């Protein structure tokens, strides 16, 4: 137990911290009834993590390498000779489209320190509550991390494939979004086009520009499961749009994801508060100053776009600190993730109202 000898008392949960709200005017002839259950606050759950590729490293491993084929060579990448060879060699095609992405999990830990006396005099099982808080906390932290990391994927440029960026309304940046530039069914359809197509599009200043195929092309993600991650404001907008509500699918036999509100154009739509949101006048996801309250929605092929690696799945240890008459509830974990195929991502930056 030597590693826990230096547990600090400054953040301990004593009887005062755990006793709850004070009550007044309590009398012996007027009994108080206490509820039997603790009414929970709202919980976020895994929204992004449920969709992406997840790997768990075996113990004794530090790094994980995700191998990927950048794209199939296809008809334009493989040379096919026609006619008889008449003694000449067949043209050679180089097999040079494989690479790897190294992911190194980072170790994280957290603890709650609860006095034995607090446990003795409290109506609730404080150790169980501490476990639940730590597990929920790491789940929310991890999911927000996945959403933010996907949302920070490198965008396409004039010379290379990457994530495609589109905006609500006729905006050309987060700084030109105005009220009314909300998420619409038409924008979802536009996003699907850029996800499934092989043309690379990028923003040349304020002009959405197509890159010549001779310079760069992307993977065309036709036939792959797609997910659109949106915020509550976008859910509100879509549910007021008859084009979405009339075409979205509900009640199928498919497994429904956490937060899923239906499918539109064969795209699962998932609502989460872990999506990137920006207040007006703050720096938007595209680094310009947002001119409206806004959200970065993410349309992607999640299993191809992102790999998440558990170096150590979250584990809880309850350690008696007998010389302090307390219990330390410790959570340890290790994780990291990385974008694998950036061209399997489309950003849709929209105003909230």
Closest-CA residue to 317 (of 138, 111, 8, 114): 111
How close are the terminal C-alpha atoms of the chain, in Å? 55
Q: Which tens digit of pLDDT belongs to each residue from 80-115?
A: 888 887 888 888 888 887 889 999 999 999 999 999
Q: Where are the domains of the chain?
A: 162-303+340-351
On the question of pLDDT at 193 being above 90, the answer is yes
What pLDDT shows up at residue 23? Answer: 54
Helix (H, G, I), strand (E, B) or coil at 2: helix
Q: DSSP readout, 291-348?
A: SS-EEEEEEE-HHHHEEEEEEEEEEEEEEEEGGGTEEEEEEEEEEEEEES-GGGEEEE
Beta-strand ranges (E) seen in 23-169 are: 53-56, 64-69, 98-103, 106-115, 164-167
Instruction: Answer whether 343's CB lies under 8 Å from 219's CB.
Output: yes
Q: Which tens digit of pLDDT belongs to each residue from 116-173?
A: 999 898 888 899 999 999 989 999 999 999 999 999 999 999 999 999 999 999 999 9
Q: Which tens digit of pLDDT belongs to each residue from 282-323?
A: 999 999 999 999 999 999 999 999 999 999 999 999 999 999
Q: Return the CATH class of domain 162-303+340-351.
A: alpha beta
Closest-CA residue to 335 (of 46, 73, 83): 46
CA distance readout (Å), 88 to 21, 77, 78: 89, 21, 18
Strand partners of residue 310: 56, 335
Place of tokens 């396409």: 156
- List, in sequence order, the alpha helices (H) in 38-177: 74-77, 116-121, 126-151
Helix (H, G, I), strand (E, B) or coil at 136: helix
Please give the mean pLDDT across all residues of the chain: 87
Work out the pLDDT band at 21, boundaries 50, 70, 90: low
């Amino acid at each position: 137990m030597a590693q826990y000898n230096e547990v600090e008392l400054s953040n301990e949960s004593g009887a005062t911290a755990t006793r709850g709200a004070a009550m007044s005017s309590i009398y012996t002839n007027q009994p108080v009834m206490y509820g039997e259950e603790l009414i929970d606050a709202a919980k976020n759950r895994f929204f992004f993590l449920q969709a992406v590729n997840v790997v768990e490293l075996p113990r004794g491993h530090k790094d994980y390498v995700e191998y990927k084929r950048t794209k199939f060579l296809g008809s334009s990448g493989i040379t096919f000779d026609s006619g008889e060879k008449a003694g000449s060699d067949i043209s050679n095609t180089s097999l040079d489209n494989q690479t790897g992405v190294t992911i190194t999990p980072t170790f994280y830990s957290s603890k709650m320190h609860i006095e034995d006396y607090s446990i003795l005099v409290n109506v609730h099982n404080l150790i169980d509550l501490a476990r639940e808080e730590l597990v929920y906390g790491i789940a929310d932290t991890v999911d927000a991390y996945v959403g933010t990391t996907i949302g920070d994927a490198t965008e396409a440029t004039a010379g290379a494939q990457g994530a495609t960026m589109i905006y609500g309304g006729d905006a050309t940046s987060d700084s030109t979004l105005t009220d009314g530039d909300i998420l619409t069914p038409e924008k979802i359809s536009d996003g699907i086009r850029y996800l499934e197509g092989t043309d690379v599009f990028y923003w040349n200043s304020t002009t959405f520009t197509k890159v010549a195929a001779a310079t760069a092309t992307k993977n065309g993600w036709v036939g792959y499961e797609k997910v659109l991650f949106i915020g509550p404001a976008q859910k509100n907008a879509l549910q007021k749009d008859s084009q979405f509500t009339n075409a979205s699918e509900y009640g199928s036999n498919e497994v429904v994801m956490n937060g899923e509100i239906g499918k539109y154009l064969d795209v699962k739509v998932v609502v989460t508060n872990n999506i990137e949101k920006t207040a007006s006048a703050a720096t938007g996801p595209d680094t310009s100053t947002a001119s409206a309250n806004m959200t970065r929605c993410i349309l992607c092929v999640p299993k191809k776009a992102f790999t998440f690696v558990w170096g150590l799945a979250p584990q809880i240890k309850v350690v008696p600190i007998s010389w302090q008459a307390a219990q330390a509830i410790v959570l340890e974990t290790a994780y990291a993730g990385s974008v694998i195929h950036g061209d399997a991502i489309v950003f849709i930056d929209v105003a909230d109202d």
